[in-house]
């Protein structure tokens, strides 16, 4: 029987590079499966159902909460986000490490439920660089960017709750650091 997998949580402010980092982890580790979150927000250009998110209406999301189908959920930037319980647990039971890209609220809930998980906070070099990245990705209007920066200031206060804090100044170096952490943490149990 396979040894149970580990939970790997990547958190940090919007625009810090979490999705890109997760994609690099998945390319480098066949034993890591991505846990797709559900959201009540609409699809962004280029997003596909079941690839980036499970897109639910607000009513559907509330129904999932009532049926206890999430291991955690939170409201972030005015939209609901949650981690489906069934697929996460199935991957862990099969011996795969489950990679989650989630906000600080969700991560804090998971720290209590999965104390043996690997919790990594990604921080930007500074808020000016974060603002530049948010503008560059071209997915939000000025009001949304302003809101995301305000939330980022709050999220950065929680970085010391994480076992690992990595500054994403250079993507290649950041990915190498995280892969090294995963290697070390999954080797030792």
Q: Residue 137's domain spans which residues?
A: 7-187
Read off the pLDDT of residues 19-71 as tens digits, 9 standing for 90 and up. Answer: 999 999 999 999 999 999 999 998 888 888 888 889 999 999 999 999 999 99
Q: Is residue 37 part of a domain?
A: yes
Read off the pLDDT of residues 61-97 as tens digits, 9 standing for 90 and up. Answer: 999 999 999 999 988 778 899 999 999 999 999 999 9
Q: Is residue 88 part of a domain?
A: yes
* Count of helices and strands (H, E) across the chain: 7, 9
Read off the pLDDT of residues 141-159 as tens digits, 9 standing for 90 and up. Answer: 788 888 888 889 999 999 9
Residue from 85, 63, 87, 61 nearest 72 by CA: 85
Higher pLDDT, 156 or 15: 156
Q: State the total domains in the chain.
A: 1
Look at residue 61 in the predicted model and tell me its pLDDT.
96
Tokens at 154, concatenated: 């709050």
Tell me the CATH number at 140.
Answer: 3.40.50.300
């Amino acid at each position: 029987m396979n040894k149970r997998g580990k939970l790997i949580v990547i958190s940090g402010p919007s625009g810090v590079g979490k999705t890109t980092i997760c994609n690099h982890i998945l390319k480098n580790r066949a034993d890591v499966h991505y846990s797709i979150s559900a959201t009540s927000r609409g699809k962004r250009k280029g997003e596909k159902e079941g690839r980036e998110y499970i897109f639910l209406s607000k009513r559907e999301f509330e129904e999932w909460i009532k049926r206890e189908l999430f291991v955690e959920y939170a409201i972030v930037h005015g939209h609901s986000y949650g981690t489906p319980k069934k697929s996460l647990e199935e991957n862990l039971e099969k011996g795969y490490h489950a990679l989650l890209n989630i906000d600080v609220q969700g991560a804090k809930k998971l720290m209590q439920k999965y104390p043996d998980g690997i919790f990594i906070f990604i921080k930007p070099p500074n808020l000016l660089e974060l603002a530049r990245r948010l503008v560059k990705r071209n997915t939000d209007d000025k009001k949304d960017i302003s809101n995301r920066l305000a939330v980022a200031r709050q999220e950065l206060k929680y970085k010391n709750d994480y076992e690992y804090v990595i500054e994403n100044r250079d993507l290649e170096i950041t990915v190498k650091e995280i892969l090294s952490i995963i290697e070390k943490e999954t080797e030792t149990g």
